[in-house]
Chain A
Amino acid sequence: SQQGEEDPQALSIQEGENATMNCSYKTSINNLQWYRQNSGRGLVHLILIRSNEREKHSGRLRVTLDTSKKSSSLLITASRAADTASYFCATDVNGNQFYFGTGTSLTVIP
């Protein structure tokens, strides 16, 4: 089964609002990554957080990691219509394989 599970499966917000999506995983990890996938396009790497880090920022993105709860969250602040995409978390368990969840589909309404 997939290591990562995103929640919610779908999210619809107004432009300017913040979007929060969560990822839970099952086993110990080396790091966790978030990716964005626009419809019909490849995945784009957004941010990586290592297992010894608790929070990381990149522009309008904020990622947290709670290894005790085996969960991570991705916050997109001041959302824009261009943020409309699917967002996936990926867990690096052993450096050989990354396990992706089923993704959160985000729709930002202009």
Chain B
Amino acid sequence: GAGVSQSPSNKVTEKGKDVELRCDPISGHTALYWYRQRLGQGLEFLIYFQGNSAPDKSGLPSDRFSAERTGESVSTLTIQRTQQEDSAVYLCASSRLPGSAYGYTFGSGTRLTVV
């Protein structure tokens, strides 16, 4: 597609429920990243996928968070047993290559609210 697409754009869930966030990167972009942005704060790195290599999961805050990516296509970020502190905007970005000279292209994000 023309840009990075994320769905849903907004999600309200009850504490304790599981949620799944989806990211469709730009076609041909081998690198995909998930970030979390809490209100008024900077972006927090969560996980990075590069081609078929093992993902860099070092930013995942707890074992309730997991992510998958099939090849160089769609990625899903799953949060199990959501907590109120999980409320944030979850941003996905892709780039043609790691550290691409054209930078990342970000999606519009999924705003997650845990009530």
* B65 sits at the interface (CB 8 A): no
Are the C-beta atoms of B91 and A42 separated by less than 8 Å? yes
Interface string of B83-115 (1 = CB under 8 A from A): 000000001010000110111111111000000
Are the C-beta atoms of B106 and A44 separated by less than 8 Å? yes
Given the known A-B contacts A96-B50, A97-B59, A98-B33, are A42 and B109 also in contact in the complex, defined by CB atoms under 8 Å? Answer: yes
Q: What is the CA–CA distance of A101 and B35 in the complex, to the nearest angstrom?
A: 12
Q: Interface residue tally of chain B, by bracket? A: 20 to 34
A47 (CB) vs chain B CBs: closest residue:
B103
Q: What is the CA–CA distance of A43 and B35 in the complex, to the nearest angstrom?
A: 11
Most central of A30, A90, A97, A99 by chain B CB within 10 Å: A97
**How many pairs of residues, A versus B, come closer than 8 Å at their CB atoms?**
60
Interface string of A67-110 (1 = CB under 8 A from B): 00000000000000000000010101001111111110000000
* Main DSSP-derived SS at the A contact region: strand
User: Among residues 1 to 43 in chain A, which have CB atoms less than 8 Å away from a CB atom of chain B?
Assistant: 2, 4, 30-31, 33, 35, 41-43
- How many A residues, CB 8 Å from partner? 24
Are the C-beta atoms of B103 and A48 separated by less than 8 Å? yes
Are the C-beta atoms of B105 and A98 separated by less than 8 Å? no
State the Cβ distance, A72 to closest chain B Cβ, in Å.
Answer: 14
Residues of B within 8 Å of A43, CB to CB, are 43, 91, 93, 104, 106
Q: What is the CA–CA distance of A99 and B59 in the complex, to the nearest angstrom?
A: 11
B40 (CB) vs chain A CBs: closest residue:
A102
Interface string of B24-48 (1 = CB under 8 A from A): 0000000001010000111111001
From A31, A45, A103, contact of B42 by CB (8 A): A103
Are the C-beta atoms of B99 and A88 separated by less than 8 Å? no
List the interface of chain B (C-beta within 8 A of A).
Answer: 4, 33, 35, 40-45, 48, 50, 56, 58-59, 91, 93, 98-99, 101-109
List the interface of chain A (C-beta within 8 A of B).
Answer: 2, 4, 30-31, 33, 35, 41-45, 48, 88, 90, 92, 95-103
